[in-house]
Amino acid sequence: MSLITDLGAKARVAAGELALAGTDLKNKALLAMASALRAKAEEILAANAQDYKTAAAAGMSEAMLDRLALSPSRIDDIADGAAAIAALPDPVGEVTHMTTRPNGLRIGTRRVPMGVIGIIYEARPNVTVDAAALCLKAGSAVILRGGKEAFLSARALTEVMRGALAQSGLNPDCIQLVTDTSRQSAADMMTAGGVLDLLIPRGGKGLIQTVVQNATVPVIETGVGNCHIYVEKSADLSMAANILYNAKTSRPSVCNAAESLLVDRAVAAEFLPMAKERLDQKKVELRGCPETVAILGDGVKPASEEDFGTEYLDYILSIKVVEGLDEAISHIARYGTGHSEAIVTSDYFAAEAFLDRVDAAAVYVNASTRFTDGGMFGYGAELGISTQKLHVRGPMGLTALTTMKHVVYGTGQIR
């Protein structure tokens, strides 16, 4: 029996029990998890320090090391996230669209758990807790497969959460960690028909595309974010500089960070030096089109075709000068990944055209793309940003982790 099959068998039993657990018991477990994470912070930080040391020695980038690193405040934030999920409405059991047919049958839909959810993710310890807490509240068992760079952190976090589940009266196998971080374990999850009801990848383009292209189990595609900030000719340029600075530099390693800047030719000569002055504060490397290079000179590197389609997840930004709204939208359609796109403008009609014509999970007018997040949208914590169009799109909160069954009440009807 393979490791994934063994974990799946345990998860299936736990999922059956969890599906019948009431909201109060699930919330009790979530609050216990939050308390345990705080109480065991020193142990978690010690494990994370080993992961960080190994990753740094292996040459991991500064931005990715930031994703990996934990601190007392970050553990508090992670624990707060678990507690916040306890405060959210429980979607399980919600009945909607109840109607009575001419023959007297009453037919409705009831929201139910998925069953067993697999999560494959990279060096982000917070995902270990976010995913487990969301799946728990949504009534599903979860099998977590994190990256080798964060394995010790993930193991420490998982052990803490499983202990809290046991103390709360829930089966600890509601949360399980794959201890084999080889490619084989990931491949086994992708083909675990009958074991996993759903597989969700969290990470960079390479990981997500590998899962999407090779999985034989249902997959929700998440997260690749080649996000654009388009500065339209009527924009308040000071506002645009603030939005760009936040979207690019507040946390460049996340999927809702800006990767590309588009600027109307009419304001490029004025705005690009403003933008560079702000971005220089974080030493952002600029890669621009020929017009950008002509305006900024040695302050920018020539951009290649590949640059415009790259999710850098680092302090790097591509720049393109465009001739108006149509060219900006065409550029986004060609290079965007359907994640988050923003326009900065004072023109109502330009804003509405951008909202109507840009195809993405989140489209912004005069705001940073960094808001594409379950917490910021008022959905509570989220498992990722879906960039596909089936089942769910955008931040995936609790409802996205459930499915529906039809419930039919009769009085003896036959057909």
Rg (C-alpha) for the chain, rounded Å, is 23
Statement to judge: residues 263 and 250 lie in one domain: yes
Q: What pLDDT is attached to residue 59?
A: 93
Domain contains 36: yes
In a domain, 378, yes or no: no
Q: Are 371 and 364 in contact (CB under 8 A)?
A: yes
* CATH value at residue 173: 3.40.605.10
Residue 248: HSE in the Cβ half-sphere, 13 Å Cα cutoff: 29
Pairwise CA distance, residues 334 & 258, whole Å:
16
- Please indicate, yes or no, if residue 395 is contained in any of the structural domains: yes
- Domain presence at residue 155: yes
Contact 127, 222 (CB under 8 A): no
8 shares its domain with 150: yes
pLDDT for residue 224: 82
Same domain membership, residue 233 and residue 215: no
Measured CA to CA, the distance from residue 67 to residue 314 in angstroms comes to 11
Residue 195 shares a structural domain with residue 326: no
Query: The whole model's pTM is what?
Result: 0.85
The rounded distance, in Å, linking the Cα atoms of 410 and 102 is 12
Give me the amino acid identity at 236: D
Q: What is the dihedral of CA 6, 9, 10, 11, to 10 degrees?
A: 110
Residue 181: strand, helix, or coil: coil
Residue 164 burial (C-beta neighbours within 10 Å; 0-12, 13-18, 19+): buried
**Domain with 262 in it: what CATH number?**
3.40.309.10
**Shared-domain flag, residues 153 and 68:** yes
Residue 376 lies in a domain: no
On whether residue 132 sits in a domain, the answer given is: yes
Please check whether residues 209 and 237 belong to one and the same domain: no
Predicted local distance difference test score (pLDDT) of residue 68: 93
Phi-psi map region of 316: left, alpha, beta (phi>0 left; psi -120 to 50 alpha): beta
Q: In terms of domains, do 333 and 218 share one?
A: no
- Residue 73's Cβ-count burial label (10 Å; 0-12, 13-18, 19+) is exposed
pLDDT block averages, 10 residues each, the chain of length 415: 89 96 97 98 97 94 88 96 93 93 96 96 91 96 95 97 97 97 92 94 84 92 90 98 98 92 98 97 97 95 95 95 98 96 98 97 97 83 83 88 95 95
Residues 56 and 107 in one domain: yes
> What total of structural domains would you count in the chain?
2
Residues 126 and 40 in one domain: yes
**Residues 331 and 390 occupy one common structural domain:** no
312 is in which domain, residue-wise? 227-371
Do 193 and 265 belong together in one domain?
no
Same domain, 307 and 320: yes
- The predicted pLDDT at position 17 comes to 96
